[in-house]
Amino acid sequence: MIQDSNWRPLPDFLTISKSSIEGLGLITTKDLPAGTDLGMTHVYDQRFQDGYIRLPLGAFINHHEIPNCSAVFAEKDPVIGLLKHIRIVTSQEIPAGTEITVKYVINKLENPNWEKEYEITQ
């Protein structure tokens, strides 16, 4: 039996909708101030080829050369505790109805130091 849980795959102020960038995207339903922590996008797990498991929040974030958010590598979560992961934080004010974007590069897996060089910040 499934018990009631406070966990949601996305924060209540984000939704998935058609993207003007590519396919579907992550859209905010309310104004977000700069510095808003949107949560975890990936959790480190060495059993996976690239070392990370992508979470629902990370599944629909599209790349943009001038992003409105930054990805941050972290070793600790304020609620869970020690946990290597990637989080998304707004880098500017984002009005409701705007797509959440991050600058990132994929396919760096052949480089064993890809995590240190992962181009996800402005």
Domain that holds residue 23: 14-117
Q: What is the pLDDT of residue 103?
A: 87
Residue 9 resides in a domain: no
Residue 3 resides in a domain: no
Q: What is the pLDDT of residue 109?
A: 46
* CB of 24 closer than 8 Å to CB of 16: yes
Residue 7 resides in a domain: no
Q: pLDDT-based confidence at 3, cuts 50/70/90?
A: low
Residue 104 resides in a domain: yes
Q: What CATH number is attached to the domain comprising 88?
A: 2.170.270.10
How do residues 22-34 score in pLDDT, each as one tens digit? 889 999 999 999 9
Residue 1 resides in a domain: no
Dig out the tokens for 108 from the structure: 């760096």
Higher pLDDT, 107 or 80: 80
Q: pLDDT-based confidence at 6, cuts 50/70/90?
A: confident
Spatial separation of the C-alpha atoms in residues 37 and 89, rounded to whole Å: 4
Spatial separation of the C-alpha atoms in residues 88 and 112, rounded to whole Å: 23
Residue 47 resides in a domain: yes
The total number of structural domains that make up the chain: 1
Q: What is the pLDDT of residue 104?
A: 77
Q: What is the pLDDT of residue 117?
A: 47
How do residues 51-78 score in pLDDT, each as one tens digit? 888 888 888 998 888 999 999 999 998 8
Residue 5 resides in a domain: no
Q: What is the pLDDT of residue 105?
A: 67
How do residues 84-112 score in pLDDT, each as one tens digit? 999 999 999 999 999 999 987 655 445 54
Residue 93 resides in a domain: yes
